[in-house]
Amino acid sequence: MPSTSISTLRPLGFQLGDCGYCKEEGSSQRTPKSRTSYFLESTSLDPDVYQALLDRGWRRSGPYLYLPDLIRSCCPHYAIRIPVAEFKPRRDQRQALHRWNRFILGDKYLNEMKKKYPKTKEQKKATNESFDLVEIANLAQKSHLKPGLTPPEHQFETSLEPTDFTEEKYKLFHHYQRNVHHESETDISRDGFKRFLCNSPIHHYAPTPGHSKLGSYHYCFRLDGCLIAMSVIDLLPTSVSSVYFIYHTDFEKFSFGKLSALHEAKLCLEGGYKFYNMGYYIHSCPKMRYKADYNPQYVLDYATKDWTPLDDELKQYMSETRCVSISRERAKQAGKPLPEENYILLDPMEATTCYQSLFDLGMPGIMSLDEVLNQVDVGDVRFISKSVVQPTALKKMPFWELPELGDEFSLPMLVAEIVATIGSIAAKGVVIDLSGFF
C-alpha cells in the first residue's frame, strides 16, 4: 500500500540504558547502565516506513523507536521473524492449544461434534499428516462453533480492537505487572499504560483488495465475556509484529505464552501477512531463549540485512562471540576478505559521554558515512522545525553545506547519522523533526 501520510522522526540520540534481562548477582533490579541504543520518537508513522525500520532491527515502545547496539550490550538483541507459511508448531505448542480447546468446549461438545460432523478418510489423513493452525486455533472460538450441538463449557472469543484505554484493559495490565513482573504500586500507572501500550504513532489503514489491515491494535482474549489476556500488535505491510503480551495469572496453567504466539501466527495466516515478528532473541538470557522454540525462526544478519536460520551453528557463535554476523563468520572460515569493522569505546558509559559521532564509534548494522553519501542525497531529506513548519529539503536552507559533514557536531552530520541508522529506504519517506535544535 503506497504511503499517503507524513512520517516524522525526532532524534533522541545514542543513549545509555539499564538491562532487564540480566541481573547483578543477588539482586532483582535491572542491571544499570549496561547497554546502549539509538533512539527516535515519532508522532506520525506510516506502516511502510515502520516496516522498513523493522527490517533493519528497529522496534517500538509506545511512541519511541529504538535500535539496540549489539556491540555495547550486556545482552545483545537480535531481531527475529518467522516466515509464517513455514511455521511448524512443536508438539508442546500443539498440546497447549488442544488443552485450551478442550477446556473451552468440554468433552460433551467434542464427542457430539465427532458424531454429527465426522471427518472423511481424506480429512483424517490430512489431520494426521499436518497441523492446520488456523482450523485448530479457531475451533473453540464463539464464531466458529458448530450448530446443533450441546453448548460448550465456556464462551471464548478473540478480537482486534483499537488501542484505546479502558479500565478493563488497565485492570488486566495492573494485575500482570504486579503478579508476573512483581512491580510495586508506585511503578504502575494509568499514564504509563497509556504511554507504552495504547499510544502508537502508526497510521491505520482499512483492508482493501490486495492489501491487509494496517496499524496498531489490541488483540483481546475474552473468556465468558471477561478480558483474560491481551496482545499489543502492529499490523504492517508484510509482518505482524508482537509488541507486548499480558494475561491473568488465574490461567497460567494453560501456557498462555504459547497460546498467544499461536493465535498471533494464526492472525498472520488469516490476514495474508508473510512474517510473524516476535521481537528480539536474546541468547545470553536463558529465559528469552524460548523464542527459538518457534520454528523456523530467522535472525537478522546485521552485516548483510539478510535473514538467516536460527540453527545450532548460529547459536554456537552467539555463545562464543560478543556480536555475531553469520555471514562474516562464514567468510572468515572460508578465508574470504571482509569489510573492516572498527569499534571504539566498547564500554556503554564511555561511548555515550565521549561526544563522538556514531561513524567514529562504530555501531553494528548502521551505514558507513561513505555508504550514506553514495546511496542517499542527504540534502534531499526533509525536515521541520520550530521556524520551518512545512516539510522542506535540508539543502534549501542556508546552513546546508556538504563540507560541514566533516564537523561531527553539525546538523548535516546529525541527519547523516539518522540516515545511517534508519537506512536509505526509510530516509526517503520520512520528515526529520529538528524542533529541538532551531
Dist CA 90 CA 60 (whole Å): 29
Of 432, 421, 431, nearest in space to 52 by CA: 421
**Count, residues in the chain:** 438
CA distance 41 to 12: 7
| Residue 69: predicted pLDDT | 98
Per-residue confidence of the chain (438 residues) as pLDDT tens digits?
Answer: 445 579 999 999 999 999 878 765 444 567 888 999 999 999 999 999 999 999 999 999 999 999 999 999 999 999 999 999 999 999 999 999 999 999 999 999 999 999 999 988 788 777 767 899 999 999 999 999 999 999 999 999 999 999 999 999 999 999 999 999 999 999 999 999 999 999 999 999 998 888 899 999 999 999 999 999 999 999 999 999 999 999 999 999 999 999 999 999 999 999 999 999 999 999 998 889 999 999 999 999 999 999 999 999 999 999 999 899 999 999 999 999 998 899 999 999 999 999 899 999 999 999 999 999 999 999 999 999 999 999 999 999 887 765 555 566 688 889 999 999 999 999 999 999 999 887
The cell for 30 is: 535491572
The domains found in the chain, sorted by start residue, are: 7-76+342-433 (no CATH), 80-300 (3.40.630.30)
Backbone angles phi, psi at 58, to 5 degrees: -75, 155
User: Cα dihedral angle (257, 262, 266, 272), rounded to 10 degrees?
Assistant: 80
For the chain, the first-to-last Cα distance in angstroms comes to: 34
Task: Calculate the CA 278 to chain-centre distance.
Answer: 6
Asked if 418 and 378 touch (Cβ cutoff 8 Å), the reply is: no
Buried b (16+ CB within 10 A) or exposed e, 256-267: bebbbbbbbbbb
pLDDT at 122 (0 to 100): 81
pLDDT at 2: 47
Distances (CA, A) of 51 to 54, 263, 398: 5, 21, 33
CB contact at 8 A, 274 and 83 = yes
Q: What is the largest CA-CA distance in the chain?
A: 79
**Distance between alpha carbon 85 and the CA centroid of its chain, in Å?**
19
Q: How many CB atoms lie within 10 A of CB 208?
A: 9
Neighbours of 187 (CB within 10 A): 11
DSSP string, 118-184: PPPHHHHHHHHH---HHHHHHTTBGGGPPTTSPPPSS-EEEEEE-----HHHHHHHHHHHHHTS---
> H or E element: which one contains 352?
helix 348-352
Backbone angles phi, psi at 109, to 5 degrees: -60, -45
DSSP letters of 381-423?
-EEE-SS--S-EEGGGSTT--GGGGG-TTSHHHHHHHHHHHHH
Please list the residues that pair with 392 across neighbouring strands. 383
* β pairing state of 7-23 and 30-44: antiparallel
- Nearest CA-CA partner of 233 in 160, 289, 133, 326: 160
Grid cell 528480539 in the structure block, residue: 280
CA distance 286 to 291: 10
Q: Which residue has the cell 465426522?
A: 118
At which residue does the C-alpha cell 546485521 appear?
302
- Can you give the pLDDT at residue 401? 65
Q: Residue type for 197, please? A: L
State whether residue 358 is helix, strand or coil.
helix
Give CA–CA dist 253/323, Å, rounded: 36
